[in-house]
Amino acid sequence: MFVHGWGFTPDFWQPVQDRLGRQDAVRLDFGFFGPACMEARPARPYVAVGHSLGALWLLLHRPAACLGMVLINGFARFGAAADYRQGVPARVIDRMVQGLDHNADGVVATFRDRAGIGTPPPGAADPGRLARALAILRDADARPLLASPDALPPVAVLAGRVDPIVSPAMTDACFHDRLAVDWIADGGHLLPLTHPDACAAAITHMMDAAP
């Protein structure tokens, strides 16, 4: 089951699905550019894969029958906090929220360009859903779950050393001493697009290791 990140759609996962050689996966949709679909689930036990916001969402909403998680360009907290200076300051996220009221398409395009993709958004943006997702990124904290051995299934983390959105310092602060991180030396924030083979390999390893 795939969960995409902020400013993207389920089509983001197509290169990884092509490498896996299976098109029967369920792809959730936050509805940033169309109808939302967050309730669908595979018919049998499965591995869940999340990118960026999607990774945080999986940590916060462990789906039933999930045998393992692969977090790609992910984090347990995005917004900065008193004990998490590596995060993104709230004022930066709030500025994006305010911009959505005036030019949602422009805010999304700017973010996607910074993340490493120059193609335009796939349609008219939904300001309300995008703003609610930004509030999750600003406030949500899944770090306590990582400290509880029974709260989550097995989790694998794949991160990029040159990620312009989720810095290596953020990744280390979230997962240090909790989970091992598989680093891609030249990887940015869009590993499913730029390094789909590595992503598919991590997913396959988790599927093979799942009970």
User: What distance in Å separates the CA atoms of residue 29 and residue 165, rounded to the nearest whole number?
Assistant: 21
Q: For residues 179-208, give the mean pLDDT.
A: 97
Q: In the predicted model, is pLDDT for residue 150 greater than 80?
A: yes
- The residue whose two tokens read 């400013």 is 7
Candidates 96, 135, 128; CA nearest to 112 is 96
- Type of residue numbered 84: Y
Q: For residues 64-71, give the mean pLDDT.
A: 95
Query: Under a CB-based contact definition with an 8 Å cutoff, are residues 33 and 105 in contact?
Result: no
Candidates 80, 73, 96; CA nearest to 167 is 73
Q: In the predicted model, is pLDDT for residue 188 greater than 90?
A: yes
Q: In the predicted model, is pLDDT for residue 165 greater than 90?
A: yes
Query: Under a CB-based contact definition with an 8 Å cutoff, are residues 77 and 140 in contact?
Result: yes
User: What distance in Å separates the CA atoms of residue 149 and residue 54, rounded to the nearest whole number?
Assistant: 21
SS3 of 100, please? helix
Q: What percent of the chain has pLDDT over 90?
A: 90
Take residue 26 and report the two structure tokens written for it.
């369920």
DSSP label of 87: S
User: What distance in Å separates the CA atoms of residue 147 and residue 108, rounded to the nearest whole number?
Assistant: 33
Architecture per CATH, 2-209: 3-Layer(aba) Sandwich (3.40)
Q: For residues 127-145, give the mean pLDDT.
A: 97
Q: For residues 114-139, give the mean pLDDT.
A: 94
Q: What is the pLDDT of residues 17-63, one digit of tens each?
A: 999 998 789 999 999 999 999 999 999 999 999 999 999 999 999 88
Query: Under a CB-based contact definition with an 8 Å cutoff, are residues 159 and 181 in contact?
Result: yes
Phi, psi of 183 (to 5 degrees): -90, 140
211: pLDDT confidence band, cut at 50, 70 and 90?
Answer: confident
194: pLDDT confidence band, cut at 50, 70 and 90?
Answer: very high
149: pLDDT confidence band, cut at 50, 70 and 90?
Answer: confident
Q: For position 210, what pLDDT does the model report? A: 81
User: What distance in Å separates the CA atoms of residue 88 and residue 80, rounded to the nearest whole number?
Assistant: 5
